[in-house]
A and B are shown apart, each in its own frame.
Chain A
């Protein structure tokens, strides 16, 4: 087991939309290299919690710390630079760009050169572009997408689009990867493949991952610890098997 080295520490996070308290007193600590699951019935506030972590919404209360650094209330861009990358529930790719370019956009802040060197095609442009291409192809290879590198992102089949989104998020070199329902809309085979990919990423990149999921098989198969949200509040948390056998959790999912 890893040393207790928290990557993400969230304390008492809350946000209200009008009278609705969408996320209420949400706290979680995720250690380095951990694969953490966030589950809950529809409308429980899972995606809102993600949006709070990535700066899409500003929390009313609470503190978010990434590797000890306070990132509460920062903008999405700053939070990404600090080291949180995410995917989306409804896939958001750059659909008219090639698969390769999608990943290269992810590398935007890691490999840099000035506008002048791109317009004048200075040697730096060729050098950095080559490095970017190599790095991007390397990432695509991990996801078996290297053969489709020149296709438009919108031409990829659904499962591969999900993978490309993960590859793009990884390209930003994050400390923490947030996956918002990665298995949504996938058939059992694709889900199985995705589970393998996710564990592979964790081992290969030593990545800390927080994922939202509905698919219980996926959650119980790969997550070590879980937090269950219901009506914006934490219903249960702890090791996966314990949480999934918790009577409250079963009630929340299946009803009385």
Chain B
């Protein structure tokens, strides 16, 4: 199958871009060519890339608008940080604990995605977007009033305050309401981030190009027709939504294990974050996984690169957003891009054809 081969090659290019970018950055870092500000940005950047790719599963592949993606990230971040704090003295092997923490974040966010998806996916379009937005905020706010402590008797829960936990002298408050979780082991680093990006890509790209992915895209393109060929709509909608949520959870794990104190503020897990992820997806091209990665990188680094312009920073950021939007979506710009791409590729093709022609002439 020609198509099959082309698509697989396409996937390899995506993996390749990530790996090459990683190698280049690591080299630059080892030469000290990257500012400490930038190095500090690398792990969050990896988390944003995972978020953008995972949201693209909901928005691009399933075709439903979700505005609550940061909520699932929040679930992954807090459950995994909680797990790491709890087991920090039990499992002393760092990588093992972190691997388990990633699994915990993945499964918990996936489970919450599944539970929220069940009622929410009955809705469509704007209604779905509003409800996911609400759920995202609910998750964040619930975590803000949650107190969990541990002492010799076991775990204590409260929704009131830390005192209501009735801990023993030796007890420890793990989740402290609005102050969140402090002292999470700092296990994340750039390399792990890139590995997680690759795993995310592996899951998403393989899922798209499979029986399940086709079913999900069939639902996106035409629900009635999908039903008429015997595709279980609820099952596949939930599958895509849960996978998307679970991967957002992984991004949360990466994010939380990079911070010494984790708080659920509107800035990191709120509405704005969800919108920002959506902007990555829309600008990168809905349904275009590679585009999501690139736009996440550009839009995360841009504000930092523009720091020198101080007051004009956000203004330029906004202009770049508009320009990128036009460039990736307007028909004229698309034609222009196609022309550039084809001239680059066909130039080589022509060269080959000519070679073939000469060879044939020789015979």
- Is B4 within 8 A of A92, CB to CB? no
Residues of A within 8 A of B3 (CB): 98, 100, 149-150
- Is A108 within 8 A of B211, CB to CB? yes
B220 CB to nearest chain A CB (Å): 8
- Is B217 within 8 A of A109, CB to CB? no
Interchain CB contact (< 8 A) of B231 among A86, A98, A105, A149: A105
Interface string of A121-139 (1 = CB under 8 A from B): 1000100110011000000
Given A85-B228, A108-B229, A94:B222 Cβ within 8 A: yes
- Is A104 within 8 A of B214, CB to CB? yes
Q: How many residues of A contact B (CB 8 A)?
A: 42
- Is A121 within 8 A of B206, CB to CB? yes
Residues of B within 8 A of A35 (CB): none
Interchain CB contact (< 8 A) of A94 among B211, B213, B218: B218
With an 8 A cutoff between CB atoms, is A168 at the interface? yes
Chain B minimum-CB-distance residue to A130? B1
Residues of B within 8 A of A76 (CB): 227-228
Query: For the complex, what is the distance from the CA of A149 to the CA of B2, rounded to whole Å?
Result: 10
With an 8 A cutoff between CB atoms, is A172 at the interface? yes
Interface string of A44-72 (1 = CB under 8 A from B): 00000000001010000000000000000
Q: Which of B228-248 contact A (CB under 8 A)?
A: 228-233, 239
Residues of A within 8 A of B151 (CB): none
Chain B minimum-CB-distance residue to A96? B221
Chain A minimum-CB-distance residue to B4? A133
Q: Majority SS of interface residues in chain B?
A: helix
Interchain CB contact (< 8 A) of A101 among B202, B214, B230: B214
Given A77-B231, A86-B228, A172-B229, A118:B222 Cβ within 8 A: no
Q: Which of B1-56 contact A (CB under 8 A)?
A: 1-4
Q: Which of A84-102 contact B (CB under 8 A)?
A: 85-86, 88, 92-98, 100-101
Residues of A within 8 A of B231 (CB): 77, 105, 108-109
Q: Which of A157-197 contact B (CB under 8 A)?
A: 168-169, 171-172
With an 8 A cutoff between CB atoms, is B224 at the interface? yes
Residues of B within 8 A of A98 (CB): 3
- Is B225 within 8 A of A119, CB to CB? no
Query: For the complex, what is the distance from the CA of A119 to the CA of B229, rounded to whole Å?
Result: 23
Interface string of B189-223 (1 = CB under 8 A from A): 00000000000001100110011111101101110
With an 8 A cutoff between CB atoms, is B120 at the interface? no
- Is A105 within 8 A of B218, CB to CB? yes
Interchain CB contact (< 8 A) of B230 among A93, A94, A108: A108
Query: For the complex, what is the distance from the CA of A96 to the CA of B60, rounded to whole Å?
Result: 12
Interface string of B150-175 (1 = CB under 8 A from A): 00000000000000000000000000
Residues of A within 8 A of B211 (CB): 104, 108, 111-113, 118, 128-129, 132
With an 8 A cutoff between CB atoms, is B226 at the interface? yes
Given A97-B217, A98-B3, A108-B215, A169:B207 Cβ within 8 A: no
Residues of B within 8 A of A233 (CB): none
Residues of B within 8 A of A4 (CB): none
Residues of A within 8 A of B227 (CB): 76-77, 80
Query: For the complex, what is the distance from the CA of A168 to the CA of B218, rounded to whole Å?
Result: 12
Chain B minimum-CB-distance residue to A103? B229
B45 CB to nearest chain A CB (Å): 25
- Is B228 within 8 A of A118, CB to CB? no
B169 CB to nearest chain A CB (Å): 48
Residues of A within 8 A of B233 (CB): 77
Chain A minimum-CB-distance residue to B217? A97
With an 8 A cutoff between CB atoms, is A251 at the interface? no
Chain A minimum-CB-distance residue to B239? A115
Query: For the complex, what is the distance from the CA of A100 to the CA of B230, rounded to whole Å?
Result: 18
Residues of A within 8 A of B1 (CB): 100, 133
Residues of A within 8 A of B228 (CB): 54, 76, 80, 85-86, 88, 92, 169
- Is A97 within 8 A of B229, CB to CB? no
Interchain CB contact (< 8 A) of B2 among A121, A128, A150, A172: A150
A227 CB to nearest chain B CB (Å): 22
Given A94-B217, A97-B217, A119:B207 Cβ within 8 A: yes
With an 8 A cutoff between CB atoms, is A106 at the interface? yes
Residues of B within 8 A of A202 (CB): none
Query: For the complex, what is the distance from the CA of A11 to the CA of B3, rounded to whole Å?
Result: 48
Residues of B within 8 A of A81 (CB): 230
Interchain CB contact (< 8 A) of A97 among B212, B214, B239: B214
Residues of B within 8 A of A113 (CB): 211
- Is B222 within 8 A of A93, CB to CB? yes
If A85-B229, A97-B217 are given as contacts, then 11 extra A-B residue pairs at C-beta distance below 8 Å, sorted by A number, are: A56-B224, A92-B224, A94-B226, A96-B220, A104-B214, A105-B229, A108-B231, A109-B230, A118-B207, A129-B211, A168-B229
Those 4 A-B pairs whose CB atoms lie nearest each other, nearest first: A118-B210, A80-B230, A92-B225, A94-B221
Instruction: Enumerate 22 A-B pairs (CB-CB under 8 Å) in ascending A order.
Output: A76-B228, A77-B233, A80-B228, A80-B229, A80-B230, A85-B229, A86-B228, A92-B225, A94-B222, A94-B225, A97-B214, A105-B215, A113-B211, A118-B210, A119-B206, A119-B207, A119-B210, A120-B206, A121-B206, A129-B210, A129-B211, A133-B4
- State the A residues within 8 Å of B (CB): 54, 56, 76-77, 80-81, 85-86, 88, 92-98, 100-101, 104-106, 108-109, 111-113, 115, 118-121, 125, 128-129, 132-133, 149-150, 168-169, 171-172
